Amino acid sequence: MQLLQSVLASICLALLLVSSVAASAAEARKKISDADLQKAVVEYNKEVSDKDDEVVCKNEAVTGSRKKVRICKTRATIKEEREEARKLRNRKSGAADGRSGGSGVQ
């Protein structure tokens, strides 16, 4: 039974990785329906014990297009991306103010 759960979790993770690649999102959507993807996410999230390992899916706009694609990421990945964006904003705002990147030397 545990082997079956492990295999199921691996398959779900593989489906999620395939579907989250933005460059091939259109092709992945042809292969995996939204309903199947949602089922895979639900099954995968049942197997993880840490909230940060749960997968969250949302529709995101493609730059330069009105089209939206379904992107799935773990909560940990989302947190990391937000932190990196925050750091980048802080560095840019510091440079705009004439401050150096936090070294204390001007």
Strand partners, 24: none
List the domain range (segments joined by +) for residue 41: 2-96
Asked whether residue 8 is domain-assigned, the answer is yes
Domain count, the chain: 1
| Residue count (the chain) | 106
Q: Would you say residue 53 has pLDDT above 80?
A: yes
| Rounded alpha-carbon distances, angstroms, from residue 34 to 28, 30, 46, 52 | 10, 10, 18, 23
pLDDT at 16: 63
Mean pLDDT, the chain, rounded, equals 78
Question: What angle in degrees, to the nearest 10, is found between the helix axes of 34-47 and 2-20?
Answer: 130
**Does 35 fall in a domain?**
yes
Tell me if 81 is assigned to some domain: yes
> Is residue 106 situated within a structural domain?
no
